[in-house]
Amino acid sequence: MKRTATLFLTGVILLLSGCESDPSAVSTQALKQELDQNASALNDAVEIISSTAGFKVLTVSDDSKSVSGDSIYDVYIGLDQVKGIYEYHPLQTTDHFGLSLIKFFTKTAENNNMVVKLPLKKVERPRLLRSYSEADTALTNNFMITVSEYYNNYNGYHDYDYKLASEVAIDGAAAGNLNIKSFVNPETGTDYNSEYVFTDGYKARYKYLSGDTTVSGFGILKGDNVLYEEERLTIKNDTARFGREHQYTLTIGNFQIIRKSGLVAPAIYLDGILQTNATVEVIDRESDPEATVCKKRDIQITFDDGTTTKLSSLIGASVENIEVLFDSLHSVYFAAYIVDWIAYDIYYGR
């Protein structure tokens, strides 16, 4: 599930222009240790996250056509219109024209939420959710999603409001929470936030906000502690080149690399303090097939003792799963192929 777009992974917005070196800046050895420890904590976190049931659910994809934005199609579905408890239980029936069809979900009880129970195998391969075979009778409804907030007001690809708050359970055990808020309007632009809270206190989040100040980014946290964030900030400025100023922030724990338009080289900060005992260089890696967070580029840090390290060597083992997480929260296939499809099925009584 690779994307060709450059990853814009979120971080803390650090408007540190004009900052000067602080005498409390740490030694070269201490700076190296902080970076190594932060990278190690990130790698451990990504390994744990990628082994969870929630990761497998969030990162489902489908090679069929996406649930797209047809500019003619419009719909409003609120939670009140789909609430209740539903079981995956395909039934042969007919539509109002007398044509044969299959009704996949049966309402078994009333509830203030939309609670849906279905086989995990159907979730893992979303295309199978839209088809039926005799073998499906042997499947058990061991996957449950509880939707406590749902608002789908779609008036076209560039005009819709969407909210989702949901809890996922597999074989009776909690597997995480998916929350999405997306507002797209031709006049006001886009305000999008998605977050998946995994077990063990880990979470990943993505955001995009358009306007005179455009922000895009992605982050991995444990509780409120930032393990990894990357962010691109674009600010409208008529006096700047091309009318925009750009800022890129990479955060790994309490270590930040900030690159701003007009600066000769990126700057390094530790706990918000400018470090002058190391420099950053962006290296093109066109011939290297291994992807990093910067795709065909890598970030090299040179310390004042002459030693160097590259971002790819620090977090190379985590990069692929970081990219998968980014893509999943950016595209939210799970919401489109599973939650929305079920809501449509219930709403239209298919």
Report yes or no on 164 lying in a domain: yes
Report yes or no on 122 lying in a domain: yes
Handedness of CA 35, 36, 39, 41 (dihedral sign): negative
Report yes or no on 4 lying in a domain: no
Residue 73: per-residue pLDDT: 61
Q: Which residues contact 131 (CB under 8 A, 6 or more apart)?
A: none
For 157-202, the pLDDT digits (tens) are 778 899 999 999 999 999 999 999 999 988 888 999 999 999 889 9
Low-confidence ranges of the chain (pLDDT < 70): 1-24, 62-73, 93-101, 238-243, 263-264, 284-297, 350
Residue 265: per-residue pLDDT: 77
Report yes or no on 188 lying in a domain: yes
Report yes or no on 48 lying in a domain: yes
Q: Are 315 and 27 in contact (CB under 8 A)?
A: no
Residue 149: per-residue pLDDT: 97
User: What's the total number of domains in the chain?
Assistant: 1
CA atoms within 13 A on the CB side of 127: 6
CA atoms within 13 A on the CB side of 318: 24
Amino acid identity for residue 50 in this structure: S
In the chain, % of residues over pLDDT 70: 80
Tokens of 221: 């946290």
Compute the distance between CA of residue 62 and CA of residue 333 in angstroms, rounded to an integer: 8
Domain span at residue 261 reads: 28-60+72-345
Residue 226: per-residue pLDDT: 96
Residue 319: per-residue pLDDT: 87
Longest dimension (CA), the chain: 81
Note the pTM of the prediction, 2 decimals.
0.83
Q: Which residue, chain included where needed, has tokens 């880990």?
A: 202
Compute the distance between CA of residue 222 and CA of residue 212 in angstroms, rounded to an integer: 31
Rounded to the nearest 10 degrees, the angle between the axes of helix 319-331 and helix 28-50 is 60
Amino acid identity for residue 160 in this structure: Y
Handedness of CA 320, 326, 330, 331 (dihedral sign): positive
Report yes or no on 17 lying in a domain: no
For 33-71, the pLDDT digits (tens) are 999 999 999 999 999 999 999 999 999 876 544 444 444
